[in-house]
Amino acid sequence: ALGKLMKTLDRLEKKDKNHAKIPEVRHYMIQIYRKLGDEQTAKSKEKELIALAPDSKWAKAYSKK
């Protein structure tokens, strides 16, 4: 699942760096890293999501922590 999300993210970013689905894809990637027990990568990806799309509902969920 993580590989598929990474490919999707790559494809969306090549199509349009501001694609509306990018924050959602990043959110699901964070959730998978958490389930894998990779908290360090999950935190790093959270910071990226907040920096890249601070107004998205996905980033807002993490910035409330």
- What whole-number distance in Å separates Cα of residue 13 and Cα of residue 6? 11
Is there a contact between 21 and 53 (Cβ–Cβ < 8 Å)?
A: no
Q: Provide the sign of the torsion angle of the four alpha carbons 27, 8, 52, 18, taken in this order.
A: negative
Q: In the structure, what pLDDT confidence band is assigned to residue 65 with cuts at 50, 70 and 90? A: low
Secondary element (H or E) of residue 2:
helix 2-15
**Nearest one of 21, 24, 44 to 33, comparing CA atoms:** 44
Q: Write down the pTM of the prediction.
A: 0.91
pLDDT tens for residues 6-45? 999 999 999 999 999 999 999 999 999 999 999 999 999 9
d(CA 1, CA 47): 21
